[in-house]
Amino acid sequence: MNCYEPARIDKIVVNLVSRSLEEYVNSTDKECFVRLSVISIGICLAFSCPSYAELAYDMGVMNAHSYQSGINIEEYWQSEKLDGIRAIWTGKTLLTRKGNPINAPDWFTEALPNFALEGELWAGRGNFHLVQQTVLDKVPSDSAWEKIDYMLFDMPQSAGDYQKRYYNILHWLEHNSAPHLRYVEHKPIASEEELFRHLDNVSSDNGEGIMLRKVTSRYQAGRSNDMLKLKKHEDTEALVIGYKLGEGKYRGLMGSLRVRLESGAEFNIGSGFTDEQRRNPPQIGSTITFRYNGWTQNGIPKFARYLRERKLF
């Protein structure tokens, strides 16, 4: 079946509706127009590209709160927080958490099922830049994608609590093996002491942190305590709104970025940049990710340092 561009689809709609009007004028059947209009719309949808429907996929995903002491730790399972790009398989298309299509090679997605999966596109610890560059390419590179694994951790549309959804993933992978399809291992937590010991081990190996998932929780879009994150440091995003020129050894370069948080708070970030990044800083209007350690009483992040520019995932 042919796949028509939106402009061509509009033309088809006009032609079909015009034909319906003609039939209505020439007919004494007052229900004729309604019937033909429904047929026209049905034909139009039949000729439209599946991708347009997939782009409208409701990407309501679970998001994590930061870990706070005092929770019942035995209600959660822990896993390593992977520094990759979150990806949702809709059953037909691979999308980012914001609903943008990911141009993966056919061989990467051909083993995926006709139901939804959620995971992380990951190339190993410390290799976020490789994943970012690969996912942003409009024309997929086989050699680049061969370095990436799809690390599964949830089945968004599967019934049951997280324990059931997790074991469903393991069961599916047992019968559908592919080198790049893996799962994120989850384990029970005996105590908070054990949790922080695991965090120390992951951080010392250049890992990003720990994720905690409540085993009795059902999949529910939005941010809640059903999913928590724990890291040695925190990171968040800010909008670049200006620059401050450098002084001394940074004369002629960018000295710091002026950024704005979602809360409206504005401040400067002047550390964490390479010389090349100071020569070619993120553009005004772009979004960056930065690390910090706590907040001031005025709502400004403490010890903010630049991590990377955040692309539109």
Q: What are phi and psi of 10, to 5 degrees?
A: -60, -40
Hey, which residues does 181 pair with through a beta bridge?
A: 150
One-letter amino acid for residue 280 of the chain: N
- Active-site annotation holder among 11, 81, 187, 249: 81
- Asked about 138 being catalytic, the answer comes back as no
pLDDT for the residue numbered 208: 87
Tell which residue, 273, 275, 160, 262, has the closest CA to residue 220. Answer: 160
Instruction: Give Cα separations from 130 to 59, 143, 153 (angstroms).
Output: 25, 12, 21
Q: What is the mean pLDDT of residues 80-97?
A: 94
- pLDDT tens digits, one per residue of 42-58: 434 334 443 333 433 45
Q: What is d(CA 167, CA 146) in angstroms, rounded to the nearest whole number?
A: 26
Of 31, 43, 36, 39, the closest CA to residue 4 belongs to 43
CA separation for the pair 113, 164 (Å, rounded): 18
pLDDT at 58 (0 to 100): 52
Does the model's pTM come out above 0.85? no
Q: Tokens at residue 192, please?
A: 């908070």
Element (H, E) at 254: strand 254-260
Tokens of 257: 């970025």
CA distance 76 to 225: 10
The confidence band for 258, taking pLDDT boundaries of 50, 70 and 90, is very high
User: What is the mean pLDDT of the segment spanning 271-278?
Assistant: 92
